[in-house]
């Protein structure tokens, strides 16, 4: 059958439409360089230049309890679960936006029947000459239809929307990683605090035992008439002050352990049996390879999330700008009907319609939306750069804090060694009557201070090390964008 002239125009029309839809208005996103973001080539503080794998940084502390708690929190923490839910939402939003690139198709089917209400029928004459009326009965009809609609993406508004949704999905994945890293570091920090409070409790109880001995010795010397009762009162005051510090340390220990329980998705007291046996404060390595500042752009998930937010905001400029241009809508339908199912597709009718719409007057609303989208992109860029600079600040502060804690630990170790010798000598001299109780009390106080200072310095060093790992973006696989878990049916809550 020869081609109809009108039918020949349809492929040309569709080809022209496809060529028009290949263009997208609005700016194309371009990743910023390290220099544009204000990233220096080197750190302003002394740092190890070589980078290292920080995916499971808590293993560097060689503490199996710490590792168990961190990994349990990563699997069961409720903040992480919320981040996963937001990631799933972002994935479905991307699916929804992609659907705009495809035509919509809907089908319908029906059956109708008409019945006579009254007076219907046919009049016939019987052989005996009488007249009778027969009922005509009802009639039925089957019908089916197919409707299609498609908005041609002439100026790329839908494609820009998909581009923005894809960036939002990636940003949600990096937000999930940021939450994960925060939870991991928070568990480790509270674990260090718990061990530090255990060390302080041991120090306080050991000091209390020594002060009980001193009080007993002072009592004997008063009874012997060697000293006045001032020594006993001083001993009682020192012992009471040490004893008063123990409940506060116990309260702080309980708060740290309770926090760990909640961070691991459990009741506050769930991990108390696991931490009941005292362990040393985790030490970790003395140095951490931090690499160059540009590594932060790749390793920190919050930086990468901010970059994806900027990409999404840039794409939405094109979404808003596409509204200024004409929109082409194509609709079509196929319909058929027949008295029976067998002949339903014998006769099919259809139609095709294309229409163009263009906004003529809207009070400046569409132009305002474009300007608003550009302002949002400017704000996203500022937020991106701010996140980058804050990340660099976090790293440098953590490096300095670690170095300061290491220096303090070395000095407190010297002070503790000297205070231990002075306290032993003063205790021996007081027993022998060669010195007074004030000197003994001064040396005992210095020993307690040096012991607690050493424990605090070790705690600060471990905490600074954890902060450095977090600042560097450790605790996740930075080589891949986190994706939402496979969709599956879930029971509704409520």
Q: Say which CATH number the domain at 213 has.
A: 1.20.1600.10
pLDDT at 40 over 90: yes
Residue 24 lies in a domain: no
Mean pLDDT of 284-302: 91
Q: Residue 247's pLDDT is what?
A: 95
Comparing C-alpha atoms, which of 69, 72, 79, 288 is closest to residue 194?
A: 69
Residue 4 lies in a domain: no
Residue 439 lies in a domain: yes
Lowest mean pLDDT of 107-111, 319-323, 456-460, name the range. Answer: 107-111
Asked if 266 and 75 count as a contact pair (C-beta separation under 8 A), the reply is no
Q: Residue 15's pLDDT is what?
A: 45
Dig out the tokens for 118 from the structure.
Answer: 């009254």
Residue 357 lies in a domain: no
Residue 289, SS3? strand
Mean pLDDT of 60-77: 96
Q: Where does the pLDDT of residue 117 fall: very low under 50, low under 70, confident under 90, or very high at 90 and above? A: low
Residues 420-439: pLDDT tens digits?
Answer: 999 899 888 888 888 888 88
Residue 329 lies in a domain: no
Q: Residue 115's pLDDT is what?
A: 66
Residue 107 lies in a domain: no
pTM: 0.85
How far, in Å, CA of 172 to CA of 88, rounded? 9
Q: Residue 19's pLDDT is what?
A: 46
Q: Residue 311's pLDDT is what?
A: 97
Asked if 57 and 453 count as a contact pair (C-beta separation under 8 A), the reply is no
In total, how many domains does the chain have? Answer: 1
What domain range is 232 assigned to?
Answer: 30-98+170-324+366-471
Residue 350 lies in a domain: no
How far, in Å, CA of 452 to CA of 470, rounded? 27
Asked if 424 and 403 count as a contact pair (C-beta separation under 8 A), the reply is no
- On the 0-12 / 13-18 / 19+ scale of CB atoms within 10 A, 207 is buried
Residue 459 lies in a domain: yes
């Amino acid at each position: 059958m020869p081609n109809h002239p009108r039918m020949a125009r349809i492929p040309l029309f569709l080809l022209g439409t496809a060529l028009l839809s290949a263009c997208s208005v609005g700016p194309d996103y371009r990743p910023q360089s390290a220099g544009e973001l204000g990233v220096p080539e080197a750190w302003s503080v002394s740092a190890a230049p070589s980078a290292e794998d920080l995916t499971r940084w808590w293993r560097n502390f060689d503490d199996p309890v710490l590792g168990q708690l961190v990994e349990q929190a990563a699997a069961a923490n409720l903040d992480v679960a919320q981040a996963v839910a937001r990631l799933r939402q972002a994935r479905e939003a991307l699916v929804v936006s992609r659907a705009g690139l495809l035509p919509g198709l809907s089908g319908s089917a029906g059956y109708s029947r008409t019945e006579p209400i009254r007076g219907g029928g046919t009049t016939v004459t019987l052989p005996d000459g009488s007249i009778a009326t027969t009922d005509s009965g009802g009639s039925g009809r089957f019908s089916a239809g197919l409707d299609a609609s498609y908005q041609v993406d002439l100026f790329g508004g839908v494609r820009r929307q998909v581009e923005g949704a894809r960036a939002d999905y990636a940003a949600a994945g990096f937000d999930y990683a940021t939450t994960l890293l925060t939870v991991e570091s928070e568990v480790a920090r509270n674990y260090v605090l718990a061990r530090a409070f255990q060390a302080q409790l041991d120090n306080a109880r050991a000091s209390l035992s020594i002060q009980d001995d001193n009080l007993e010795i002072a009592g004997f010397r008063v009874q012997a008439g060697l000293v006045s009762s001032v020594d006993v009162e001083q001993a009682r005051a020192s012992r009471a002050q040490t004893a008063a510090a123990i409940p506060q340390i116990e309260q702080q220990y309980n708060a740290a352990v309770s926090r760990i329980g909640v961070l691991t998705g459990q009741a506050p007291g769930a991990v108390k049996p696991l931490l009941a046996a005292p362990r040393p404060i985790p030490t970790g390595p003395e140095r951490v390879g931090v690499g160059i500042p540009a590594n932060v752009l790749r390793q920190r998930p919050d930086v990468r999330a901010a970059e994806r937010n900027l990409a999404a905001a840039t794409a939405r400029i094109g979404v808003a700008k596409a509204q200024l241009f004409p929109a082409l809508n194509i609709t079509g339908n196929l319909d058929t009907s027949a008295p029976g199912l067998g002949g339903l597709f014998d006769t099919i009718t259809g139609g095709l319609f294309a229409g163009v719409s263009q906004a003529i007057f809207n009070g400046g609303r569409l132009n305002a939306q474009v300007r608003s989208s550009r302002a949002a992109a400017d704000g996203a860029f500022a937020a991106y750069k701010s996140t980058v600079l804050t990340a660099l600040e976090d790293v440098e502060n953590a490096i300095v804090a670690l170095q300061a804690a290491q220096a303090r630990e070395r000095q407190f170790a010297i002070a503790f060694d000297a205070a231990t010798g002075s306290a032993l000598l003063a205790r021996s001299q007081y027993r022998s009557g060669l010195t007074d109780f004030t000197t003994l009390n001064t040396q005992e106080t210095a020993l307690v201070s040096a012991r607690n200072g050493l424990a605090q310095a070790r705690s600060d060093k471990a905490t600074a090390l954890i902060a450095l790992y977090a600042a560097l973006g450790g605790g996740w696989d930075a080589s891949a964008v986190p994706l939402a878990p496979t969709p599956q049916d879930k029971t509704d809550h409520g």
